Amino acid sequence: MVTWSAPGRVTLVGEHVDYNGGPVLPFAIDRRTQVTIRRRADLRVIVTSQGVGTAEISSPLCPGSDSGWERYVAGALWAFSVGARRDVDGLDIDIASALPTGAGLSSSAAIECAVLCALNDLSGVDLTPRQIADLALRAEREYVGVPCGPMDQYAVMLAEVGHALCLDSGSLDTEQVPLHLDAAGLTLLVVNTRVRHALGDGAYGDRRTACEQAAAMLGADSLRDVTVDRVLGLPDPVLRRRAHHVVTEIARVRKVVRLLRSGRPGEIGALLTASHRSLSDDFEVSCAELDTVVEAALAAGALGARMTGAGFGGSAIVLCRSAESAVVADRVFETFETSGFREPDVWPAGPAAGARRQTR
Ligand code: GLA
């Protein structure tokens, strides 16, 4: 029997950039998904998720054949069998998660990575964290069917305490960038709006297609290498806005990384807010609740705020001085109440560890 846990992530900045070859800057949060795997005497694979239910994984594993919550587990099993060339028959898999699903906090990558880590350990295969991230990515793309970039799986596997992970999503090079919020008197709040997002519903894929079309019209392999001036010359207004978000977001990531490297986390707020406005206006993936978090937090004195994750609901992050975090959180709660929105879930988050083995 082995037990592994994997964290959720927030994107500090660099949203909808990872399928355009640019740099992204996520960090892991201390809400985790724990997976325990035991061998069974028969060939069945039974998955139990606390508070959700029990399911049997269909055999043989076949992309597209599972549609419920268990498809993330099935996808990880499939990726392991394909990538590590090992049979995965005869397992009991228990899942306990403190990570809300559909909240833009990467619960799917957490479950895929935790299952893969546990299988790797149980089978003695010795895959590296990067190999596991790549297999988790295959599970999400090829089995679950979401055309995502590599950010979530790499963040979940490679994140380190006290650091954001700068991932070059083209080369997959990584750099651990110090993010010491406490020492700078800063607090980063996560605000889960409880508006559930679903990436499988097509809007995510549409954004990706638009970016690819814009790059193709500009004669580029990806938007990573395109300048703002060239983007502004695109004749189609929708493609122009989508591409404008991506190239300006890449510039924001680079600026935030420079500020963090020189120990100035208190100066990144305006860049986070600019990222949100770009996602809302140009990329059109925000929603009323996410915009409300940002405007309410800024009105109460936050240094910066933005939606995090793919959007269409989910969560926002708010950077504020620690002394003001209670006032900022209260303003978000009040504004949600007066707007008739569901009460959000708000908590402080700092950069946490990536996937790890749990001691018994
Ligand atoms: C989802 C995807 C990621 C990334 C983000 C948006 O989380 O899984 O690959 O594209 O959306 O930045």
Distance (Å, rounded) from C-alpha 38 to C-alpha 94? 9
Q: Rounded to whole angstroms, how far apart are CA atoms 12 and 20?
A: 17
Question: pTM of the prediction?
Answer: 0.97
pLDDT of residue 67: 78
| Interval 241-286: pLDDT, tens | 999 999 999 999 999 999 999 999 999 999 999 999 999 999 999 9
- pLDDT, residue 360, reads 58
- Residues above pLDDT 90, as percent of the chain: 92
For residue 41, the CA-to-ligand 1 centroid distance in Å is: 38
20, amino acid identity: N
Ligand 1 pocket check for 344: Cβ under 6 Å? no
Distance CA 230, CA 220 (A): 11
Cα-to-centroid distance, 52 and ligand 1 (Å): 24
Tokens of 62: 């076949």
pLDDT at 199: 65
Structure confidence at residue 19 (pLDDT): 98
> Three-state secondary structure along 178-205?
ECCCHHHCEEEEEEECCCCCCHHHCHHH
Spatial CB neighbours of 3, under 8 Å, sequence gap ≥ 6: 34, 35, 36, 37, 118, 357, 358, 360
Q: What is the pLDDT at residue 331?
A: 98
- Please identify every stretch of the chain with a pLDDT value under 70, giving residue numbers as ranges: 198-201, 360
Residue nearest to atom 9 of ligand 1 (CA): 149
Q: What is the pLDDT of residue 60?
A: 86
Element (H, E) at 319: strand 315-321
Catalytic residues: 152
Using one digit for the tens of pLDDT, what is the confidence trace for 197-242? 766 568 999 999 999 999 999 999 999 999 999 999 999 999 999 9
For residue 149, give the ligand 1 atom closest to its CA.
9
Question: Which atom of ligand 1 is closest in space to residue 11's alpha carbon?
Answer: 12
At 245 the pLDDT is: 98
